[in-house]
Amino acid sequence: MKLIWIGAFLLVFASLASLISKQQSGRLIEETWVSSANVLPDAKLNELQRAVPAHTERFFSLMPQQFRDRFAAKTLKAVELITFRTLLLWHFTPGLLIPLLVGCLEGSWSRANQKTLIKMHSPMRFSVSLTTLGLTPVLALLWVTAPLALSATFLAFTLGALFVFSTRNLILHAPTQF
């Protein structure tokens, strides 16, 4: 399990390094703006457009002066992209709680109605669903730092599907006391 977490965070750091080293952050931020225009209303996008430079400036003001002199020009667009995607993810979080609730309801309903199948507890399915639920924040961080143009709708759909199935399996295959 520790190796999975180490590998996941290495993947996030490699993605972040690739985003900073390749100077394509400006193109990616424009594509993310266009793809999020289909999801968020114009008022919210205008609010984010004003908030992203302020958050980026705040981030750089927390860094030491030597870091700002060396790396600020190179990493400005990458930090703006990461900030914008983080704010988008923050706005999608309440919508992602609905699939979590659906998975809980479906799992508890299945558990209540399939009493004979529950006696055969599946520790492997329980472990996989627990791991999947644990790695969904890493998947969200991977989207935030990805050097690819992936739409926010795709992220919400993927995380929602993972939440529904993982939560259902977590509740359905949880160990019971007999």
Number of domains in the chain: 1
**The predicted structure's pLDDT at residue 178:** 41
Token pair of 168 as six digits: 């259902």
How far from the centroid of its chain's Cα atoms is residue 121's Cα?
Answer: 30
Is 121 a domain residue?
yes
Domain residues for 144?
2-172
Is 24 a domain residue?
yes
**Residues near 70 by Cβ (< 8 Å), separated by ≥ 6?**
none
Taking only the tens place, the pLDDT of each residue in 116-170 is: 555 556 777 788 888 888 888 888 888 888 888 878 888 888 888 888 888 888 8
Is 178 a domain residue?
no
Is 51 a domain residue?
yes
Token pair of 26 as six digits: 């400006």
Is 177 a domain residue?
no
Q: Which of 41-50, 101-110, 169-178 has the lowest mean pLDDT?
A: 169-178
Is 74 a domain residue?
yes
Taking only the tens place, the pLDDT of each residue in 42-78 is: 788 888 888 888 888 888 888 888 887 787 777 878 8
User: What is the sign of the dihedral through the CA atoms of 71, 74, 80 and 81?
Assistant: negative
